[in-house]
Structure 1
Amino acid sequence: MASGSKSSGKQSSINSQRANHRLICYCNDVAVLRTAKNGVNAGKKFYGCPNWPVAGACKFFEWLMDDGVVNRPQLFDDYQLKILEKDTEIAELEMKNKMLEEKVKRLQIKKENVEEENQEMKNELCHMRFELMNCSRTEKNLSMILIFSWLMFAVLALLLR
């Protein structure tokens, strides 16, 4: 009895594994479980394309191992290819990130240069305002001197007459 319950437990485990992992063939159809009928593998179970032997069916084929697990060497290759694709994508993103970081550095340097130029222009503007104020004072002073000199000339002209 114990051996019967053990095998039924193993069988239910295999069935749940099959139910959870439906194999999809290259035609995007659910693969069907078949049994080899002749040759050295007669009686051995395998998954294949449901459209076989119709012309144009894909060549999907995977053996079901004795423990009920599918032998998937091609799946390993598919995963390796996916990993390679992801590694390539990561490398491209890292390269793009590095290029963006360099661009940010160049823009920061450019910003600093513009800020320095802006500060220099502010300083120059302040200096020019100061000179303009000095010129304005000088102009007022010269205008006062001119008016005063004309008044003096007029007074002297009246006195000498």
Structure 2
Amino acid sequence: MTKNQCSSCSWGSSHGASSSRGMVGSQMCYCGELAVLRVAKTPKNQGKHFWGCPNYKRTHYEEVGGCNFFKWHTEDIGDERDTTIGWQRRKIINLERSLLVCQKREKIAGVVLPGVV
């Protein structure tokens, strides 16, 4: 996670992390709270979703607060995919190791199962 700061006060609407994606994969801000999913309203990023600190000011009239946590929602999706791919690779390696162990045991015991080469 990288710490970025948004230079605009146009944060847009926010949604609780648990309502938008469920508790699995929810983002935590630097304050240690669940980040909220917001919608950017700046001309350059109109409509893009991003995670932000729930304590950050919402209008220019409010005091600055929170930790300035910011992460584009699309970056989060990429991180999730990388994590899933890593777990799947580990699972494949463990299954291949288990298969080799079983094949060695069969060879030692002199047992050959039908359909297993």
TM range (shorter): 0.3 to 0.5
Bigger Rg, which one: 1
Greater strand share, structure number = 2
Greater helix share, structure number = 1
- What's the TM-score once normalised by structure 2's chain length? 0.45
Higher relative contact order (CA 8 A, sep 6+): 2
- What's the TM-score once normalised by structure 1's chain length? 0.36
